[in-house]
Amino acid sequence: MSAAKTARAGPPKPAVRHLEIDAAHAGQRLDNFLIGQLKGVPKTHIYRLVRKGEVRINKGRCRPDTRLAAGDVVRIPPVRTREAQARHLPGAAACENLEWLDTRVLYEDEALVAVDKPSGLAVHGGSGVSLGLIESLRRLRPHAPMLELVHRLDRDTSGCLLIAKKRSALTGLHAQLREGGVDKRYLALVSGAWSGKARSVEAALAKYQLASGERRVNVEDGGKESASRFTPRRVYRHGTLAATLVEIRLLTGRTHQARVHAAHIGHPIAGDDKYGDPAFNRATRALGLTRLFLHASTLRFRHPLSGAALALEAPLPAELSGLLERLVQPEIET
């Protein structure tokens, strides 16, 4: 069922749309409705469209916080492709067939479920994403009394994600996270040939916001205490390209921690468009990498109800293991 009924058909090329609000969207704020309709368009641009009067309700000007009523007709102006281009979300498309999620379950019992999240799928809706993993799981299991995220993964990161099915499980796992009882390890391909053995990184992290509204994180005195441990697994050399597969153990759980700490020590992660090295990203893209090479590979913790030790592992996705295979193949001279 579509989100809204089309009141006036538009041509196939970008054009003005007039959408009639149905009962399911009655009472929703205009800005939230537009975010769902204009997937991938920055919020700042959406608010600018409303402010300039390009978005209208029943032919009249409106405010972002206007509540929609059934039968209202909302005018949505055409948005240029470069502004409307959404991120590639391979996981989101798969969630249209909700049974797909069952194939990603790593572990499940009466208290919790662990899922192997694909890269490109947000853990929850918002910021231009109408349907995330948790909303999809709730749709798949409408009779589940509770499904709540225990922790989060960045949209571009794949791997182990925990969801609680009971309040007691959620509070128990949160306690373990606060006390360092959850062992979280990631695999990442970083720029350069690693020198030496394992290395601990203790660098405080602080959030900030760009003028565009995008959130970033940097190393900053006075930020939140953050600690990671990097262990090299294999150094790769492919022509002039040098890269290292590392295991990253997060001792704290800050936003973008693995990515910022990796860049901080001079080994940014492949495919990182926020904190990475553009030249390294171009080189790995030429070898077929189309995503961030960061994968939550293992989780070790105590079961929140029984206390039994659990170790969960998500295999390296084919697109990442395939890149590693190409890195060890000799280049063909032409």
Across the range 285-308, mean pLDDT stands at 95
DSSP symbols for 228-246 = EEEEEEEEEEETTEEEEEE
Residue 333 resides in a domain: no
pLDDT digits (tens, 9 = 90+) for 63-79: 999 999 999 999 999 87
Name the β-bridge partners of 190: 244, 269
Query: What pLDDT, on a 0 to 100 scale, did the predictor assign at position 82?
Result: 36
Q: Who's near 68: CB < 8 A, 6+ residues apart?
A: 21, 25, 26, 27, 28, 29, 30, 33, 57, 74
Query: What pLDDT, on a 0 to 100 scale, did the predictor assign at position 236?
Result: 95
CA distance 261 to 266: 9
- Taking all residues of the chain, what is their mean pLDDT, rounded to a whole number? 86
Choice between 55 and 127, residue whose per-residue pLDDT is larger: 55
The total number of structural domains that make up the chain: 2
Whether 141 and 224 map to the same domain: the answer is yes
CATH number for the domain including 300? 3.30.2350.10
pLDDT digits (tens, 9 = 90+) for 160-169: 999 999 999 9
Query: What pLDDT, on a 0 to 100 scale, did the predictor assign at position 129?
Result: 58
Residue 310 resides in a domain: yes
Across the range 127-150, mean pLDDT stands at 83
Whether 203 and 270 map to the same domain: the answer is yes
Contact 289/137 with Cβ under 8 angstroms?
no
Whether the predicted model's global pTM rises above the 0.85 cut:
no
Provide the residue type at 27 as one letter: G
- Confidence bin at 84 (pLDDT 50/70/90): very low
Least confident of 59-63, 205-209, 228-232, 301-305: 205-209
Whether 143 and 256 map to the same domain: the answer is yes
- The rounded percent of the chain whose pLDDT value lies above 70 is 86
Residue 334 resides in a domain: no
Whether 170 and 21 map to the same domain: the answer is no
Residue at a domain's end among 57, 84, 111? 84
Query: What pLDDT, on a 0 to 100 scale, did the predictor assign at position 85?
Result: 39
Whether 147 and 128 map to the same domain: the answer is yes
Residue at a domain's end among 84, 117, 151? 84
**Which residues constitute the domain of residue 72?**
5-84
Residue at a domain's end among 84, 111, 138? 84
Whether 296 and 177 map to the same domain: the answer is yes
Whether 148 and 256 map to the same domain: the answer is yes
Residue 127 has pLDDT above 80, yes or no: no
Whether 173 and 270 map to the same domain: the answer is yes
CATH number for the domain including 35? 3.10.290.10
Catalytic residues: 154
